[in-house]
Amino acid sequence: MTTIHRPAHDHQVLAEIDVVQTPFARKALAALRIGFGFTFLWAFFDKLLALGFHTGYDQAGQLDRFGDAAFINGGSPTEGFLTFGADGPFKGFYNSIAGTWFADWGFMLGLLGIGLALTLGIGMRAAGAAGAVLYVMMWTVALPPETNPLIDEHILGAITLVALTALGAGTTWGLGKVWNKTDFVQKHPVLR
């Protein structure tokens, strides 16, 4: 977006370069995109392997890295939170899908796919949309949020992913430019 300024003292018209096109802004958006990508990837690997940062503790509270809580060992990444953390108007729904194969696999594949796409800067439209939906769903698990009656980090994350997608953040420090030029993506622009 270009902004036109008309100085009061003369009739000259000045145009500002779109802020998003400046190298600093593009790099800042890329850093934000990669940071969000790593958060999704980290959540995936922590749940996959029970690395002990949020996943990997047994019933007694003892750390059990790579143990029974690991998804690769049959642990459920959704059961605990959706069973015991759900509250509010959607509690019954989330309790009913807690630990089911489709909730577990959907969550894990979502974390991996969104994380890879954001980190690499490819498939930003799909990753942004899927990530925003996942964030909003996570927000609805426990309503109202504990720290604010309306908004929390999940809503801010959803808004951020939409903004990163809208601003083409995958083309700086990512494979977005190359990805977007492929014949397949040209024929299917939803994959940009």
Pairwise CA distance, residues 140 & 157, whole Å: 14
Please report, for the chain, the start and end positions of each structural domain, with discontinuous segments joined by +.
19-191
| pLDDT recorded at residue 13 | 43
Tens of each residue's pLDDT in the chain, 192 residues: 455 555 555 555 434 446 578 899 999 999 999 999 999 999 999 999 999 887 767 667 777 788 888 999 999 999 999 999 999 999 999 999 999 999 999 999 999 999 999 999 999 999 999 999 999 999 999 998 888 888 899 999 999 999 999 999 999 999 999 999 999 999 998 889
| pLDDT recorded at residue 68 | 85
Spell out the alpha helix ranges (H) of 5-152: 23-49, 79-80, 91-97, 101-120, 124-141
Q: What is the DSSP letter of 142?
A: B
Q: What is the pTM of this model?
A: 0.85
| pLDDT recorded at residue 16 | 45
Q: Among positive and negative, which fits the CA dihedral 75, 40, 179, 164?
A: positive
| pLDDT recorded at residue 54 | 75
| pLDDT recorded at residue 66 | 81
Dihedral angle over CA of 51, 54, 60, 62, nearest 10:
40
Q: What are 10's two structure tokens?
A: 């003369």
Separation in Å, CA 4 to CA 24, 26, 144: 21, 22, 43
